[in-house]
Chains A and B, each alone.
Chain A
Amino acid sequence: MGGKPEACPPHLGPCRPKGEAMQEERFPGYRWLPYLLVAPSIAVIVIFLVVPFVQSVRGSFFISTPFGTKTIYVGLRNYIRLFSSPDYQNSILTTLAFSSFVIIIGLSVSLGIAQLLNQKIRGLGFYQVALIWTYALSPAIAGVIWASMFAPATGLVPYIVSKLSGGYVLNWMTNGRIALLVVVAAATWKMLGYNIVFLLAGLQNVPKALMEAARVDGAGPWKAFWRITFPMLSPTTTFLLFVNMLYAFFQVFGLIDIMTRGGPGNATEILVYKLYRDGFIHLNTGSASAQSFVIFFVISIGAIIQLRVATRKAIYAR
């Protein structure tokens, strides 16, 4: 395994390639014990993840009759139907727009805040907690809070907008574009805490000596950031890009379900929401399985890119 990159699942931390250094046999002569130790984890992964996934791929080539009494092989028909449906095309575009907003805005704002935090100031411990706690909120809770702030008749934001604009009635429940922006804002806000935790940890690992050297060489803070901090941070940012992608693709489900249910119309119907609707409301399991595979395909691309970047040595290898 030497030199192979580490694959990190969500909320683990940035991955770096690593040698085999300490990984040796410390208790020789136990032949079966190690198998026994890994068995529970492997069993759960195989039974609840791998087997259902394989079944899901298989299911995407079938359709089932309304009461699930019979399944019929249909080849690629589920996929063809899916990609020729305007609803699905809309859902892809919505997901792209939603996730790029959440990822780009979220990461830039968090990086700015983490930079501010990454210095010797009094009360650092307090600021840390006071800026990362949104990590503990669920997307659904974030959704309900933002829904109340934007509630058309009673919310604070429509009131402020109407005062500032001289009477504009902000109703995100009827305006698709505004709805998408409000959902983006709520989702981004919730994720700030998580992003700040990891970016701050990443920033604290940038050797002070390097910054010192850059300053001696006459580099301004702007230049030092782009030439040193940013490249040194690349394992963290790549990892966060992937985690934020998973977040914007799936974990926001609760937020969408509470705030808009994909509406108004289908303005906020991201892929996972459409999958839920088709699979569990309309009970079209064939189409839902095909949608699952499409989502899997997109994530794999993200995962592979993340792995590639993580394997590339950081420019300033230590």
Chain B
Amino acid sequence: MLGEVMPLSGKNRYKILIHGLLILLVLVLAFPVVYALITSTLSFQESYTYPPRLIPGNQFLANAAVAWHRIKLGRLLFNTWLISIVVALAKIILSLLAAFAYTHFKFRGRGLLFPMCMITQMLPLPVRIVPTFQLMASFDWINSYYALTIPFFASTTGILLFRQFFMTVPRDLSDAARVDGAGPMRYFLQILVPVSKTNIAALFVIEFIFMWSQYLWPLIVITTGEMRVVQIGVKMLLASEQIAPEWNVIMAGTVMAMLPPLMILILFRKSFTQGIAMQSQK
């Protein structure tokens, strides 16, 4: 943009400057994770050398194995994968259905959509934490997958996202379906859902990462080692040390705990950025 007014050589110099700056930023931003990766490959002695060592070692597998056994990491990863996928899918399905109702039908109470979303937005867990916990206890859901999933199922994020998209779907499509004798649910399943796949993927990324990062809720509703999620596992790794923290082991566990959401983001990055861009366009 700026470069266009400058002569060619200046423009090139400007481009090089931009690239240099961006690469520097990328490196600075990545440094903490690179440091964690390096630490995860060192032996205990190497992690305590002074000055701190910045050359990778070859102990990652050994450290990972220690972390794996110490906090039953395999089980925790399984738990976290399970709840993240279940919640993301449930949120997608529930909000697709609700958005379909709000955009394709007239019914009493439709005007309550925005007030409802507004209220939901103002009620994050901490403002209702004690009774929500007591509710779990009264359902006998403490230490269960139910407590880790069902309370998260509604997503006004998703309802508003799909609503906005559904309104841009041409009316001809639903009219044609109706002329062909297709009922609303058939139109929904065979036409509307397939054309929403970019938005579905974007919402999946958002909700998967959201669930993977849950910390406070699992901390209070889960008390047994078997049912924990990886975030709490990392806390356990950190807390299990008495004298000197084994940073190499902690970091090996940390690396394994942060890879899945990163993978999901990179895998779906196109739909994710497109979904967000679409969202802020309107």
Contacts and interface: CB of A to CB of B under 8 A. Distances in A.
Interface of A: 1, 4-14, 16, 18, 21-28, 30-31, 33-35, 37-38, 40-42, 44-45, 47-53, 55-56, 59, 113, 116-121, 123, 127-142, 144-149, 151, 153-156, 159, 189, 192, 197-198, 201-202, 204-205, 211, 215, 221, 235-236, 246, 249-251, 253-254, 257-258, 272, 275-276, 279-280, 285, 288-289, 292-293, 295-296, 299-300, 303, 307
Contacts of B115: 7
A224 B68 CA distance: 54
B266 A16 contact: no
Contacts of A145: 32-33, 35-36, 251, 254
A224 B48 CA distance: 52
Contacts of B281: 201, 205
Contacts of A11: 157, 206, 210
Interface of B: 1-3, 5, 15, 18-19, 21-22, 25-26, 29-30, 32-33, 35-36, 39, 47-48, 50-52, 54, 94-95, 97-98, 100-107, 110-111, 113-135, 150-151, 153-157, 159-161, 164, 167-168, 171, 174-175, 178, 183-185, 187, 206, 209-210, 212-213, 215-216, 219-220, 231, 234-235, 238, 244-245, 247, 250-251, 254, 257-258, 261-262, 264-266, 269, 273, 276-277, 279-282
A140 B230 CA distance: 10
Contact of A299 (B97, B117, B124): B124
Contact of B25 (A34, A113, A249): A113
A14 B280 contact: yes
B114 A1 contact: yes
B128 A52 contact: yes
Given A12-B160, A34-B107, A136-B262, 18 more contacts: A1-B110, A22-B168, A33-B105, A45-B119, A47-B135, A51-B131, A51-B135, A119-B18, A127-B26, A129-B266, A131-B26, A133-B265, A135-B265, A142-B32, A155-B52, A197-B273, A279-B129, A303-B122
A253 B215 contact: yes
Given A11-B210, A12-B161, A1 B123 contact: no
A90 B151 CA distance: 32
Name the prevailing secondary structure of the B interface residues: helix
B241 to A, nearest CB: 11
A141 B258 CA distance: 7
Nearest to B175: A26
Contacts of A13: 161, 276, 279-280
Report, nearest first, the 7 A-B pairs whose CB atoms are least far apart: A254-B215, A138-B213, A13-B279, A37-B101, A55-B131, A44-B154, A7-B118
A255 to B, nearest CB: 9
Contact of B174 (A26, A198, A215): A26
A288 B209 contact: no
Contacts of A8: 117, 121, 157, 160
A243 B164 CA distance: 20
Contact of B269 (A5, A28, A123, A129): A129
Contacts of A138: 212-213, 215, 231, 258, 261
5 contacts: A1-B110, A23-B167, A27-B104, A44-B94, A50-B119
Contacts of B116: 42, 45
A258 B235 contact: yes
Contacts of B114: 1, 4-7
Contacts of B48: 153-154
A63 B3 CA distance: 66
Contact of B247 (A21, A154, A159, A300): A154
Contacts of B124: 246, 250, 299
B122 A154 contact: no
A52 B132 contact: yes
Contact of A131 (B25, B52, B264): B25
B29 A146 contact: no
Given A22-B168, A40-B97, A135-B265, A154 B52 contact: yes
Given A1-B114, A22-B167, A289 B130 contact: yes
B251 to A, nearest CB: 6
A9 B117 contact: yes
A48 B216 CA distance: 16
Contacts of A250: 124-126, 216
A144 B238 contact: yes
B136 to A, nearest CB: 9
A295 B128 CA distance: 10
A141 B117 contact: no
A153 B264 CA distance: 35
A22 B262 contact: no
A192 B26 CA distance: 12
